[in-house]
Amino acid sequence: MAVTLRYIANDVLTSLKQKFADADISLNHCVYWCLIYADRLKSQHIQKIESGAFIHTFAQIPVVYDALSGRKYIELPESIYDFNLDRGINYISYDYTVDDCVAPFTSVTFSRTTPSASKILYYTEEEKPTPENPYFYRIGNKVYLLGVECVNILNVEAGLLSSFDPTTVCDLDAEFDFPPELIPILQRTVLDLGRFVLQMPTERVNDGTDAGTEDLTGTSKQKILTAAQQTQVVGNQTE
């Protein structure tokens, strides 16, 4: 059975309600927190492990021609991780027809460059951008294409490492695109955040009564431990 975002968020919400029965916290709160921390944990996981598990393929990304600058570009269909050297883009490729033969998509892939470094590419015939040796560079949400200015290219295929966007509506019952082994860490992190938020001092009104012996913080005396600290405590108790 696939784990869904609704299952993870409901589990966190149930745990928080057990501790803070009157807490004004909703499922939307938990979903937002889960997406924020899941994005961070997934980003760290992808950079540590070279795998295609989280590559999303987009087969028909339209190529746009900017008549003002004479450049061709595509717009990223989803937000991606801002990794070093634009590694959030796993590949960009297109079908190039030679003598009525359409080459496989992996035979014509774009190499990465930058706007400042692209000038050097034109110094040698071996590196010069051509339809057989195209390049791309990214500026914001646009990816510009070099070497395909003189060919009729309508769309490209791209493999992207998509990130989570907590501001968009998502299907809570769809399979959660997240490493299963990191779900306990995600839930614990969100639980710690929820407990911290719910234990923040509340606003108090000065009604003229003697509050000299009252705890003015309005917080619980329970000490909040991090996941690492709790692991150490459990280890000491078992010794």
What are 22-75's pLDDT values in tens digits? Answer: 777 889 989 999 999 999 999 999 999 989 999 999 989 999 999 888 899 999
Residues 70 and 116 in one domain: yes
CA–CA gap between residue 44 and residue 81 (Å, rounded): 10
Are 64 and 150 members of one domain? yes
60 and 122 within one domain? yes
Same domain assignment for residues 21 and 105: no
Q: Which domain holds residue 130?
A: 56-160
Is 230 within the bounds of a domain? no
Q: Are 12 and 92 part of one and the same domain? A: no
Please indicate, yes or no, whether residues 185 and 150 belong to a single structural domain of this protein. no
- End residue of a domain, out of 131, 160, 189: 160
| Mean of pLDDT over the chain | 84
Beta strand ranges found along the chain (DSSP E): 56-62, 64-66, 71-75, 89-93, 97-98, 101-102, 111-112, 135-139, 142-146, 155-160
- Provide the 10 A C-beta neighbour count for residue 112: 16
Taking the model in full, what pTM does it have?
0.77
Q: What's the structural domain count of the chain? A: 2
Lowest-pLDDT range of 121-135, 156-170, 181-195, 219-233: 219-233
Mean pLDDT, residues 194-219: 61
Contacts of 80 (CB under 8 A, 6+ apart): 88, 89, 160, 161, 162, 163
Do residues 70 and 143 both lie within one domain?
yes
Buried b (16+ CB within 10 A) or exposed e, 118-135: eeebeeeeeeebebebbb
**Residue 107 and residue 82 in one domain:** yes
Domain boundary among 128, 160, 192: 160
Same domain, residue pair 110 and 182: no
Q: Does one domain contain both 134 and 117?
A: yes
Indicate if 85 and 139 belong to the same structural domain.
yes
Q: Are residues 135 and 40 in the same domain?
A: no
